[in-house]
Amino acid sequence: MSRRVHRVPVHLDAKGVGRLPPDDLRAILRGADPLVNRGGRTLLCAVLRGSRRKEVLEHGLDRIPVHGWFRALSDDEVMKRIDRAIVDGYLDIQYDYRLPLLVFTPAGWEIERETYAHELLDGFEARLRAGPPYAMEELKDRNRGLIVRLLELVEESEDARYLPLLEEWAAVDYKKVRQRIARVIRRLSHLPPDEPREEPDPVLEVAR
């Protein structure tokens, strides 16, 4: 007979917090990204409050852009905002054995994907300012939907300055991503698309 699992209870309390301003919602979702299926509300609260406790530092959570976003608020006030994001359907709770972990809903991931893709595009600009060699390995093994959106942003920019970065990226990533990068390179180089064109592949657009 299997032993009963006593799950850690979750009591959401968003009282007094109405609809979140867009910037605050994006900050909460950005802070949640590295915690998906790994951490819960309490750790997210610590990140957003700017904590430098051991768990935050060990996992590099002090280096994400929204670390300390709600530094001026109390733990209780930050937790209510996190709970509001859950109540409004942008984050959810799933259990790993007995522990409640954060996950994105499709609506939350759509917002976070856009936020993170623009952040990665800003990283392109930082690389250009620093100059070669351009280390692009960190883009490998990222969520496919995130990478597709990043490449869309690069293509929409029509900025040929990104060509050296794309070429370096294509040298280290997998075939499917290389094919998409090649398309963008041809677009920024004002070359006609290859024929026949690659058949579209399914893109993961939901919570990881």
The number of domains in the chain is 2
CATH number at residue 55: 1.10.10.10
Q: Which of 172, 167, 180, 90 is nearest to 137 (CA)?
A: 172
- Residue 180 in any domain: the answer is yes
- Collapsed DSSP state (helix, strand, coil) of residue 156: helix
Q: Are residues 97 and 36 in the same domain?
A: yes
pTM of structure: 0.87
- The pLDDT > 70 percentage for the chain reads 90
Radius of gyration of the chain (CA): 20
Residue that is last in its domain, among 104, 138, 161: 104
- Residue 123 in any domain: the answer is yes
Query: The domain containing residue 150 runs over which residues?
Result: 110-188
Q: Are residues 157 and 92 in the same domain?
A: no
Q: Other CB atoms closer than 10 Å to residue 15's CB: what's the count?
A: 8
Q: Do residues 44 and 35 make contact, with C-beta atoms less than 8 angstroms apart?
A: yes
Q: Are residues 96 and 122 in the same domain?
A: no
Q: Are residues 138 and 74 in the same domain?
A: no
| Cα-based distances in Å from 62 to 26, 34, 69, 119, 156 | 17, 11, 11, 16, 32
Residue type for 121, please? L
pLDDT per residue as tens digits for the range 109-162: 999 999 999 999 999 999 999 999 999 999 999 999 999 999 999 999 999 999
Per-residue pLDDT at 107 exceeds 70: yes
Q: Do residues 28 and 85 make contact, with C-beta atoms less than 8 angstroms apart?
A: yes
Average confidence score pLDDT of the chain: 91
Q: What is the mean pLDDT of residues 18-36?
A: 97
The per-residue pLDDT for 195 is 54
The single-letter DSSP state of residue 60 is T
pLDDT per residue as tens digits for the range 32-78: 999 999 999 999 999 999 999 999 999 999 999 999 999 999 999 99
